[in-house]
């Protein structure tokens, strides 16, 4: 069992949190005593931050709605469909028909890449994320 220091991703406070790892699974969380922001404290979201990682309802493969039902598809099919539809919508709406909502469960680097994609490829500033609050 080992503990890994990381940053809580649920909001912009950036509390320091240790994750318990045991045999390849994250099984608990506790606050960093010396962290300059959180100083040995976490809110209820931080104490439970590990629960989504191995949650059985977490999506593990791409799904595409076919005949009204979400159907597992390959990454190639999902990405091709998504790129085609985003391009169509962007071009039909003069860059104003799309908006992007990012996730606090992404890393800072992933969120940075998403805002670059939104502005440079989708050509809109319609992007937001809950952790900016
Ligand atoms: S959600 Fe709670 S524990 Fe996580 S960074 Fe925000 S205040 Fe800290």
What distance in angstroms lies between residue 71's CA and the mean position of ligand 1's atoms? Answer: 35
For residue 31 and ligand 1, the question of a CB distance below 6 A is answered with no
Please give the pLDDT value at position 128: 92
For residue 13 and ligand 1, the question of a CB distance below 6 A is answered with yes
Tell me the C-alpha to C-alpha distance, in Å, between residue 52 and each of 26, 31, 57.
10, 18, 9
Residues of the chain with CATH 2.20.25.90: 2-52
Please give the pLDDT value at position 97: 96
CA distance 60 to 93: 32
Helix or strand run (H / E) with residue 25: strand 25-31
What distance in angstroms lies between residue 31's CA and the mean position of ligand 1's atoms? Answer: 10
Residue pair 37/14 in contact by the 8 Å Cβ criterion: yes
Per-residue pLDDT tens, the chain, 133 aa: give them.
Answer: 899 999 998 887 889 999 999 999 999 999 999 999 999 999 999 999 999 889 999 899 999 999 999 999 999 999 999 999 999 999 999 999 999 998 877 777 888 999 999 999 999 999 998 766 5
From atom 1 of ligand 1, which residue's Cα is the shortest distance away?
Answer: 10
Q: Ligand 1 pocket: which of 15, 16, 18, 41 to mutate (most atoms <8 Å of CB)?
A: 15
What distance in angstroms lies between residue 83's CA and the mean position of ligand 1's atoms? Answer: 34
CA distance 58 to 46: 19
Q: What is the pTM of this model?
A: 0.67
Please give the pLDDT value at position 133: 58
CATH architecture for the domain at 2-52: Single Sheet (2.20)
């Amino acid at each position: 069992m080992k503990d890994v220091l990381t940053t809580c991703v649920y909001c912009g406070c950036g509390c320091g949190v240790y994750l318990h790892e045991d045999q390849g699974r994250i099984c608990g969380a506790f606050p960093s005593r010396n962290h300059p922001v959180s100083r040995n404290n976490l809110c209820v979201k931080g104490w439970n931050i590990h629960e989504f990682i191995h949650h059985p309802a977490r999506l593990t493969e791409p799904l595409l709605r076919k005949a009204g039902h979400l159907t597992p598809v390959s990454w190639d099919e999902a990405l091709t469909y998504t790129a085609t539809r985003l391009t169509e919508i962007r071009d039909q709406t003069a860059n104003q028909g799309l908006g992007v909502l990012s996730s606090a469960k992404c890393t800072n680097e992933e969120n940075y890449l998403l805002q670059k994609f939104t502005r440079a490829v989708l050509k809109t500033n319609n992007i937001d994320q809950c952790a900016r609050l």
